[in-house]
Amino acid sequence: MIESPRSVVVLAHDDVAHELGPIGSWLNSHGAEVHRVSRDSSINLPDAELLIVMGSPLSVARGHCAPGQQQEIDIVREWVTTDRPYLGICFGAQVLAKALGGEVERMGRTHRSYAPLDTELDELKGRWALWHEDAIVAPSTSQVHARVPCADVAFSQGRAWGLQVHIEFTADIVERLGERMNVPEEQWRPLADGLREDVTAGETRVWSLMDHIWSSIAPD
């Protein structure tokens, strides 16, 4: 098994939901070479040992999936069906769910919290950040690792993981995202404050989870 990813492709927007936060720190600590690809232009993915697909204000929920989002689903399906490691965060997890035959439903409200999950996996215990208005129903062929009452929030299949939880979030990232998306401060401030109060333990949890995920998806 490759002990850590040496080459990583990150698919994200140019100016929203693109920051890697603790994920980037973990990658840097392992000396990974990170290549960014923008979903705001034509998507052409280079080969890499890991593809990370980040969040988005776009949607792949039933009735909301535009042609550009469907193209991303198709790209991810091709990637994971060739047994290459994949990590999807928020929108990236929703794309993975659709690519593997799961469902994504519009909730009609935005769920923001910093709270524990329903999980038996040690690496997912503790508090985690959530910010989403679409709910994943994980594919029946996948293993669900964590849930909240409204959605499956962590699942895996083969060498692919989907995380609705925002393991990339820091308090500063949440503040910038809230301002960038014109969300009233009172709606995101509790999440940012929770992350700031729990910064050391929170980053430790992210690194532990990344270690666990990579060990389960790394090429032989």
212-213-219-220 Cα dihedral, nearest 10 degrees? 30
Question: Which stretch of DSSP H or E encloses residue 125?
Answer: none
Q: Which of 170, 167, 145, 143 is nearest to 157 (CA)?
A: 143
Question: Is residue 66 classed exposed, middle or buried when 0-12, 13-18 and 19+ CB atoms within 10 A define those classes?
Answer: exposed
Residues annotated as catalytic (active site), given as ranges: 90, 166, 168
- Rounded to whole angstroms, the Cα distance separating 65 from 33 reads 32
Q: Dump the DSSP string for 56-74.
A: -S---STTT--HHHHHHHH
